[in-house]
Structure 1
Amino acid sequence: MKKRLSALLSLAMACALVLSLAVLPTALAAEGEIPVPDSTMGLVSDAASTGTSSYTTSDGKTHTVYLYPAGTTISGSWLYSVESYEGDSYTTVQFGGSFVLPESGIFTVTTMDAMTYTQSIFVSADGSSSTTDPEPTTDPEPTTDPADQPSSWAAEQVNAAIAAGIVPETLQSQYTQTATRAEFCALATALYETATGKEITERATFSDTSDVNVEKMAGLGVVGGVGDGKFNPDGELNREQAATILARLAEVLGQPLPAGEPTFTDNGSISSWAKEAVGQMQASGVMSGTGSNSFSPLEPYTREQCMMTTLRLFEQLG
């Protein structure tokens, strides 16, 4: 009799397991952590996921959308912002706190670690459209062109840099576009002259530009030319160039950054002339990686990224 009861119990448990898998074939996880790709900055939901969908933005990029029941609360110590997504634009819903998922709409939930490393995931309520633009959760009336606004994750530090007087007015727009070599010289000049309280009198000239900020930075030895007496002022700035300029700027200000050997997984792709500066950036926290412990030395560097790292250097100068 005992053997028969044991066998029946085992059979019942097996059936229950099969039924649970049949009911939730696309479930991602039970209540708990929401997966944020390549990040330890997990978010927490108070309901189980119902699966995934996809959303293609108007720029042709397709994103995975994590589906949850409407009313699910999403929270986490690293939650930074929530935006409703519409094609290639967004409307900021909130900063920080917990987010209760509405019945419709597709949202990006962004996590940020000490304002240096970010990850974003798309979330939506189960059953809402993932192929058409959702209705925004608010009805804003923007007074400025969205192109003249920094990204939500950069806005606080960009505004702080502007308030500190280290962002020339000519650069206070088109924040997400790649900075040029001359534009970064303008930021570097503003930082130097604000920090020291005096104008740079040194000058070095080039045949392809008369930009005074380029001449000032070259006069201090912070930047150099590209050969044949040229500077290439309109050349796009990349990450290892930005690191080198920032390290040299700290040195001419009399406060060199601490030395350190970079520990990124792509150290081998960093130019030999930039490796020391990249190590200083990592050791000081002025610049960080791009995710997955990579530095991406040749990746373009945007205006807003330049402003954020210039502000960090300015703050370290005391």
Structure 2
Amino acid sequence: MTPLSARHPDNARRISHSTRGHGHGPIVRLMSPSDFGQWLKPFVFLDLFEMDLRRFGNMPLHPHSGIATITVITEGNLRFEDPDAGTGHIGYGGVEWMRAGAGVWHGKELSAGTSAQVQGFQLWIALPAELELAPVDSQYLEAEAMPHAGPARVILGEHQGVRSPVRAPSGINYLLVTLAAGQRWEYQPPADHEVLWLSVSRGTLYSPEPVEAGELVAFEPGNGTLTLQAGDQGDAVFVLGSAVPHPHDLKMGSYSVHTSVQALNAGEANIAQLGERLRAQALPEGRSVPIYK
């Protein structure tokens, strides 16, 4: 491998912060609204997970408001089940998108797939004011439905003229990329995408600083080109996000992120009412509620 030059071009994006997060069993929390999410908003939360769901089971039902959640798989697959969308499998390049908006309870729409292990990222984005109390919107897109530009799957937004089918707000790009050993790749963010970060799930990247598996790095604001190269020991798999900065202070609840105290109060009131209705609802034995909205 011919290494990237240690000297940065004048307009190169330099790393400003890095973290390996903190673990919760098979889940590593790399970003939360109270830490990296303050610098990288609208990206406010990121988990890297690796587990056998047949052993750990489903996540319990829990609420959200004011955010959207995006789940992508880097190894293995998950099964999705939704009354409106049917069933299928999400593997590498596929995505679950859920805009919580005014409020939703979920957690059982994804379950063990056909693989023994599954690895992936769950990301939250803070919604703009006009969508933070909007109706819930869900999409389940299998890998063949997701477009790519070279080695990058376009999960959200648009890259090199390729647009994602996910109904996400404008001003946000989110890519899933695999580079072969030694392969170089450049990302030129849109001019107004001051926010830029990436996180590696497998292998090593050089920017030219090394970024190892399990690490999240944030880059200094700007719009310079990011040049990356995979290490020579194998593929490098990573997610990359860029965006127009979120203009609002984050107002946070236990499961919610909003742009104002008024919106937060409205979202939390909505999910409390939904929770009461959910607990009062009598379901036939053996039937679950994947998403309640």
| TM-score normalized with structure 1 length | 0.23
- State which structure, 1 or 2, has the greater radius of gyration over its C-alpha atoms: 1
| TM-score normalized with structure 2 length | 0.25
More strand by share: 2
More helix by share: 1
